[in-house]
Amino acid sequence: MTDQNGPKLLAENVHKAYGRNEVLRGIDMQVRTGEVACIIGPSGGGKSTFLRCINHLEKIDSGRLSVDGELIGYHQRGGKLYEMRDKEVAAQRRSIGMVFQRFNLFPHMTAAENVMAGPVVVRGDNKKKAR
Amino acid sequence: MSTVSTPGEPQARSKPPIEAVPVRHPGRWVGVGIVAIFAAMLVHSLLTNPNWGWSLISEWIFAPPIVKGVGVTLLLTFLSMIIGLALGVLLAIMRLSPNPVMSGSAWVFVWAFRGTPVYVQLFLWANVIALYTTLSLGIPFGPEFFTFETKTLIPAFVAALLGLGLNEAAYMAEIVRAGILSVDEGQEEAATAVGMSRLQTLRHIVLPQAMRVIVPPTGNETISMLKTTSLVIAIPLTTELFFQASAVGNRLFQPFPMAILASIWYLALTSILMVGQFYIERYYAKGAMRELPPTPIQKWRRRLGRGGSND
C-alpha cells in the first residue's frame, strides 16, 4: 500500500476531543518528502496534540492520518478499520522521530545511552554498532 | 600589619585572611554536659550491675545452638524477602494493568494479606492441615493424578516462608507501585514514541528509575523482616535465633541475659544490612542528584583533610 509519489504525511479532516473540549476540528495537511513544515499557534492551540496523533500516542476521533501512505494505528481491509496490535503500532513509531516539549530524556542514562535506547532495546542492535 | 586599601586601586591590594573570634555557644556545652552525665550513668550501670550477666553472654554468644539460630534467622529473612520482592513486583504490575480482573485480584491479595496480623497468618499456614488434609495434582474439578498429605508437603520451615513471604509481598506490592507511579509520565510516553513495547518500557525505562523510590523502604522492610522472623514461634518453628536464646535462658534460669544476647545479634545483623542499603541507594541515585552523597569513608577523609571542622 506504500505510495512513493504521494505525500510523506497526509492528514484529512482530523478530529480530536478530550471529553467535551474539542482540540482538533478537521485538520487537513500534506507534507511532501524534503519539505519542512512549521505548525505555529498559541499555547493550548492543539499543536502538540496533532503531533501526538501522528505518533498514535493519542487516538483520533475521526478522519485519516497516514505517513508514507500507511494509515497510522489501523489496518484497512475491505472498507473496514481494524485496530493495530501494540507491537505493530510500536513498529510504526520506530520510523517516526519525535522530540518532546520537555524533552523527556531518560535521566538514569548517559547522553549516548539516551540516543541508543531506541535501536538497542527495540531492534536489539548490538551496543557497539549503535554507538 | 594591615594596609587599608581604598577602592579604585585594585592592583595594590593584599589579601590578609580574616581573623575573627568565632561566636561562642555556651548552651551547647550545657547540653553536652547533661548528655555526658546520662551516658556515664548508663555505662557505669552496664559495667557494675552483675544482673546484666555479661560473663554469661560472652560465654554463650558464639555457642553452636545460637549461631545455628542466627543462620536460620538469616535464611528465613532472605528467602522471605525474595518471595516478597518477586511476588510484590508482579502484584504491583498487575495492580497497574488496564485489565480489571488483574488489578482487582491484586487488590484483593493486598487487602487480605496486609489486613491480618503476620502472627495470625503464620498460625493459619501451620494449621492449613486442618483445612485440607491432602493436596492433589490434577484437572480442576476433574480427575486427580497425584495426591500428597499436607503434613509432609508443608513442614514448619515452609509454613514460615509462606506466612512471612506472602505477607511481605502485600507490602512490597504497594512499595513497588508507589515507585512506578513516581516516574514521570513523560518517560513512558517518550519510550513509547521510540517504539518500545509496554514490557520493554517497564524494564528499561520505568523500573530503573522507580528503584530510587523503591530501595529505601525495601531496606526498611528487610530490617523489619529480620525481626519479624522471631514470630515464627506461632507455627512453631523453633530453630531460629530468639527461640534458641530464650530456651537456653530458661534452662539456665537466666532469661534476661539471653534476651540481651539475642538483641546484640539482631543489632549486629541490622547494622550490616544498613551498610548494604546505603551503597545500593547510592547506586540508584544516578541521574537524580548532581553529586552523589559521600560514603562514610569519603566523609572522614574530607573531615581529616580539612583539619578542624566547622561544626
Q: Give the residue-averaged pLDDT of B29-39.
A: 96
Q: What pLDDT score was predicted for residue A120?
A: 79
Number of neighbouring beta carbons within 10 Å of residue B267: 10
CATH 3.40.50.300 domain residues, chain A: 9-85
HEC-encoded secondary structure of chain B:
CCCCCCCCCHHHCCCCCCCCCCCCCHHHHHHHHHHHHHHHHHHHHHHHCHHHCHHHHHHHCCCHHHHHHHHHHHHHHHHHHHHHHHHHHHHHHHHCCCCHHHHHHHHHHHHHHHCCCHHHHHHHHHCHHHHCCEEEEECCCCCEEEEEEHHHHCCHHHHHHHHHHHHHHHHHHHHHHHHHHHCCHHHHHHHHHHCCCHHHHHHHHHHHHHHHHHHHHHHHHHHHHHHHHHHHHHCCCCCCHHHHHHHHHHHCCCHHHHHHHHHHHHHHHHHHHHHHHHHHHHHHCCCCCCCCCCCHHHHHHHHHHCCCCCC
Confidence grade of residue B12 (pLDDT, cut at 50, 70, 90): low
Q: Is B233 a domain residue?
A: no
Top residue of B184, B203, B204 to mutate, by most chain A CBs within 10 Å, is: B204
Examine the pLDDT at B177 and tell me if it is beyond 90: yes
Q: Is B95 a domain residue?
A: yes
Question: What does pLDDT average to over chain B?
Answer: 87
Give the separation between CA A74 and CA A77, rounded to whole angstroms. 10
Confidence grade of residue B66 (pLDDT, cut at 50, 70, 90): very high
Confidence grade of residue B11 (pLDDT, cut at 50, 70, 90): low
Q: Give the residue-averaged pLDDT of A66-84.
A: 90
CATH class of the domain defined by A9-85 = alpha beta
Give the separation between CA A50 and CA A24, rounded to whole angstroms. 7
CATH number for the domain spanning B166: value is 1.10.3720.10
Top residue of A109, A116, A121, A125 to mutate, by most chain B CBs within 10 Å, is: A121
Give the separation between CA A43 and CA A2, rounded to whole angstroms. 35
A16-29: pLDDT as tens digits: 999 889 999 999 99
Report the domain count for chain B. Answer: 1
Chain B residues within 8 A (CB-CB) of chain A? 184, 186-187, 189-198, 200, 204-205, 208-209, 286-288
Q: What pLDDT score was predicted for residue B61?
A: 93
Q: Give the residue-averaged pLDDT of A92-103.
A: 81
Q: Is B266 a domain residue?
A: yes
Examine the pLDDT at A56 and tell me if it is beyond 70: yes
Give the separation between CA B102 and CA B96, rounded to whole angstroms. 8
B230-286: pLDDT as tens digits: 999 988 888 999 999 999 999 999 999 999 999 999 999 999 999 988 888 888 877
B105-142: pLDDT as tens digits: 999 999 999 999 999 999 998 888 777 777 778 888 87
Residue B269's domain spans which residues?
62-124+160-228+239-286
Examine the pLDDT at B308 and tell me if it is beyond 70: no
Q: What pLDDT score was predicted for residue B309?
A: 42
Q: Is B224 a domain residue?
A: yes
Q: Is B144 a domain residue?
A: no
Q: Which residue has the cell 467535551?
A: A20
Q: What pLDDT score was predicted for residue B30?
A: 96
Contact residues on chain A for B186, CB-CB shorter than 8 A: 100, 102, 104
Q: What pLDDT score was predicted for residue B306?
A: 57
Q: What pLDDT score was predicted for residue A78?
A: 86
More confidently predicted of B221 and B144: B221
Examine the pLDDT at A14 and tell me if it is beyond 90: yes
Cα separation values, A63 from A3, A18, A24, A53, B78, Å: 19, 16, 11, 11, 57
Q: What is the ipTM of this complex?
A: 0.70
Please give the interface size between A and B, counted as residue pairs whose CB atoms are below 8 Å apart: 61
Examine the pLDDT at B194 and tell me if it is beyond 70: yes
A117 three-class SS: helix
